[in-house]
């Protein structure tokens, strides 16, 4: 069975972004973003397409570097870490990519086993057992021999989540986990996000446009607009915002 015993945590805040800016050419995507994410907190980052939500996730794992400001993860400034230390830190972070990004040439079982083969010294038996347990935890244990092309979009997200959990991460990052899914499957993915907090004590950051689903699993909603955080809080607190964009965003999502 997977080890879901709550981790021993220290007192450091897992993620701290301070005055982060990022531009691509003449386009400023992030413009002074400040955000702290506490241990075991689930934060949903909302906003229109092109608002910088996914860029922010990539900054958190060092795939992009901020133009100014800092991204502190587990007390380490991401931009200042040498590659070897950055890769070690990345092992503590699970990333569910948009559309899952499964390897087309690998079975479900092989996809989930991939990080375990690369980064652990588990025996074949131990690895196989862990893969089975991970797939069972997301309801995909009966499909381990299938190829990604044989799976629906929702099933692919489940497998992607199992793979993201393979190294027992302390932080989970989700990039549009419900994009393109029907409301029922979106709700199921939302339940799985909530489940990880309850069973694994993880900290989660979920980039999504789906505010109705987000309010069911997120402790805090953060709204990005024009590269800035314009409002944050519970769904009810956002509903009391007087920011013009937030009012329009909530109205259009209704």
Q: Please indicate, yes or no, if residue 127 is contained in any of the structural domains.
A: yes
Pick out the chain residues at pLDDT < 70.
1-11, 254
Q: Please indicate, yes or no, if residue 220 is contained in any of the structural domains.
A: no
159, 108 contact by CB (below 8 A): yes
Q: Please indicate, yes or no, if residue 3 is contained in any of the structural domains.
A: no
Burial grade of 94 (CB within 10 A; 0-12, 13-18, 19 or more):
buried
Residue-number span of the structural domain to which 120 is assigned: 107-168
* Residue from 169, 171, 140 nearest 157 by CA: 140
Q: Please indicate, yes or no, if residue 39 is contained in any of the structural domains.
A: no
pLDDT digits (tens, 9 = 90+) for 97-121: 887 889 999 999 999 999 999 999 9
Please state the domain count of the chain. Answer: 1
Q: Please indicate, yes or no, if residue 184 is contained in any of the structural domains.
A: no
pLDDT digits (tens, 9 = 90+) for 73-89: 999 999 999 999 999 99
Burial of 19-29, coded b for 16+ CB within 10 Å and e otherwise, reads ebebeeeeeeb
Six-digit token pair at 60?
């958190």
Separation of alpha carbons 51 and 97, rounded Å? 17
> 3-class SS at 148?
helix
């Amino acid at each position: 069975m997977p080890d879901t015993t709550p981790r021993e945590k220290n007192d450091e805040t897992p993620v701290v972004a301070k005055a982060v800016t990022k531009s691509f050419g003449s386009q400023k995507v992030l413009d002074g973003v400040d955000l702290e994410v506490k241990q075991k907190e689930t934060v949903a980052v909302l906003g229109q397409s092109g608002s910088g939500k996914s860029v922010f996730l990539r900054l958190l794992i060092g795939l992009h570097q901020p133009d100014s400001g800092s991204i502190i993860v587990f007390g380490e400034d991401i931009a200042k870490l040498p590659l070897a230390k950055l890769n070690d830190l990345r092992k503590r972070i699970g990333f569910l990519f948009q559309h899952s990004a499964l390897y087309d040439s690998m079975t479900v079982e092989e996809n989930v086993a991939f990080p375990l083969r690369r980064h652990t010294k588990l025996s074949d038996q131990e690895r196989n057992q862990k893969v089975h347990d991970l797939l069972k935890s997301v309801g995909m244990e009966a499909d381990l021999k299938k190829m990604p092309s044989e799976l629906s979009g929702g099933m692919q997200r489940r497998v992607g989540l199992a793979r993201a959990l393979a190294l027992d991460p302390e932080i989970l990052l989700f990039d549009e986990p419900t994009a393109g899914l029907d409301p029922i499957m979106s709700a199921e993915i939302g339940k799985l996000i909530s489940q990880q907090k309850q069973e694994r004590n993880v900290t989660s950051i979920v980039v999504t446009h789906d505010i109705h689903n987000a309010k069911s699993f997120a402790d805090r909603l953060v709204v990005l607009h024009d590269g800035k955080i314009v409002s944050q809080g519970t769904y009810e607190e956002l509903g009391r915002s007087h920011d013009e964009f937030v009012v329009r965003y909530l109205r259009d999502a209704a």
